[in-house]
Chains A and B, each alone.
Chain A
Amino acid sequence: MIKVGVLGLQGAVREHVLSVEACGAEAVVIKRKEQLDEVDGLILPGGESTTMRRLIDKYDFMDSLKEFAQSGKPMFGTCAGLILLANNIIGYDEPHIGVMDVHVERNSFGRQRESFEADLDIAGVAEDFAAVFIRAPHIVEAGENVEILAKHNGRIVAAREGRFLGCSFHPELTDDHRLTGYFVEMIKESKQLTI
């Protein structure tokens, strides 16, 4: 059975676990870096990216996350998780994990009162995906190898670069598991490649 890790330092961990299970895979909450060896792919959940970064540093997670990214196993970042994956964060000198060739802007739709729901057409996933955006970032610029999966009002809100998948919104907050299912398929494909 496919094992999907969910980084469990802070944020919407339970919702991702339920979503992974709904897609027929096993979910593992990752609180210690040693646990990364157990899983075939990793979800970086929504939460507060500043807080997650502090905890990642505190527990010496960063090198292990970078190694995981280099190992060929897929990673999926939602909202704060997308910020962790991006190789450029507007207004900041350094990226976090920095493995996905996108420039992201934090809180780019505004404060909480500007947070919203919208229906999205996500290429290869769904034409009518109810997406929940909360103090969300967006992808300002994507590298040439990045496949743009969805836009909202002209802004890129979901993209894939090889084994890395990122989105601005929170698929874990609804009962629509199609995007998580898409990620589980990515993991299955990558496992077949390694075998």
Chain B
Amino acid sequence: MKTGTDRVKRGMAEMQKGGVIMDVVNAEQAKIAEEAGAVAVMALERVPSDIRAAGGVARMADPRIMEEVMGAVSIPVMAKARIGHIVEARLLEAMGVDYIDESEVLTPADEEYHLNKKDYTVPFVCGCRDLGEAARRIGEGASMLRTKGEPGTGNIVEAVRHIRKVNAQVRKVVGMNEDELMTEAKLLGAPYELLLEIKSLGRLPVVNFAAGGVATPADAALMMELGADGVFVGSGIFKSENPAKFARAIVEATTHYQDYKLIAELSKELGTPMKGIEISSLAPEARMQERGW
């Protein structure tokens, strides 16, 4: 009997496919998310838009929040650790959190190295903007990927850029001759063996969810249309006017992302979504997606 194998860690993410993972800050929100049909919740101290507004250093949430959320729902509970913060990640693992997001939404603890995620029994999800970044994270042991997007903005444009880029680069690798792959690995900054694996599978070896800017049911469906395996919604739900309704609508739009009549129906009378931020109005140092290496 073996725990923490690649199959067990990657398999856990496979079970989340076609689903929505929602950011929550307490037990009450976690129950709303579960009730709406979320496949998992991400337990946080503050949603990304509030982290953005508060400024300062954003750290792992108070363990009491994770405990409270784990006690409230039967779906898996994820939590965020700072990039490279070994002890925050070990703490979350020891608490029994089901998945750790080594996340650029928090202030990085290490500006050079990410966690060696192979060392852990608990699986990790990491953000990526292109195939090089995706492959480096998988190389370090990430069992699931997500687009970085631009968290807490309610603006889908960056997540769209990232999923299109990754998928275009995967298609390119799949179509390349094997003798071209070493140079491609060098150019991408990606492990060569992983490119061989992608070529033989015809896809990434782990699931890739959308994240960072999903604010409406149509945004969630758009990301599925572009090839995401599922959707993370951060500030979009609990910063909207009617969170329970919004949460249900986003779940349904993700399941039936090509049923446009249904999505139109779902989008009626939802109330106001979160207020968005135009990306060009963000100072370069305020762009969370630039964190991670």
Q: Which residues of A contact B (CB under 8 A)?
A: 8-15, 31, 46-48, 50-51, 54-55, 58, 79-80, 106-107, 111-118, 132-135, 170, 173-174
Taking a contact as CB atoms under 8 Å apart, the answer to whether A111 and B37 are in contact is no
CB-based contact B2/A58 at 8 Å: no
**Size category, B interface:** 35 or more
| Chain A residues, Cβ within 8 Å of B99 | 112
Contacts of B121 in A (CB 8 A): 113
Within the complex, what minimum Cβ distance (angstroms) separates B197 from chain A?
Answer: 14
Q: What 1/0 mask marks residues of chain B from 242 to 271 whose CB sits below 8 Å from any chain A CB?
A: 000000000110011000000000000000
Q: Which residues of A contact B98 (CB under 8 A)?
A: 111-113, 135
Cross-chain contact B11 with A173 (CB below 8 angstroms): yes
B93 x A48 contact (CB < 8 A): no
A133's closest neighbor in chain B, by CB? B8
Contacts of B11 in A (CB 8 A): 12, 115, 132, 134, 170, 173
Contact B8 A116 (CB under 8 A): yes
Task: Give Cα A174 to B5, complex, Å.
Answer: 13
Chain A residues within an 8 Å CB radius of B4: 113
Task: Check B281 for interface membership: any CB of A closer than 8 A.
Answer: no
Least distance between A52 CB and chain B CB atoms (Å): 9
- B122 and A112 form a contact (CB under 8 A): yes
* Residue B57 lies at the interface, judged by CB distance under 8 Å to chain A: no
Known: A117-B5, A135-B98. Is A112-B76 also a contact (CB below 8 A)? yes
A46 touches B8 (CB 8 A): no
Give the CA-CA distance A111 to B17 in the complex, in Å.
Answer: 19
For residue B251, which residues in chain A have a CB less than 8 angstroms away from its CB?
51, 54-55
6 CB-based A-B contacts, threshold 8 Å: A51-B38, A58-B252, A112-B99, A117-B2, A134-B8, A134-B11
Neighbouring A residues of B16 by C-beta, 8 Å: 11, 47-48
Residues from chain B with a CB closer than 8 A to the CB of A31 are 255-256
Interfacial chain B residues near A11, Cβ < 8 Å? 14-19
The answer on a CB contact under 8 Å between A13 and B8 is no
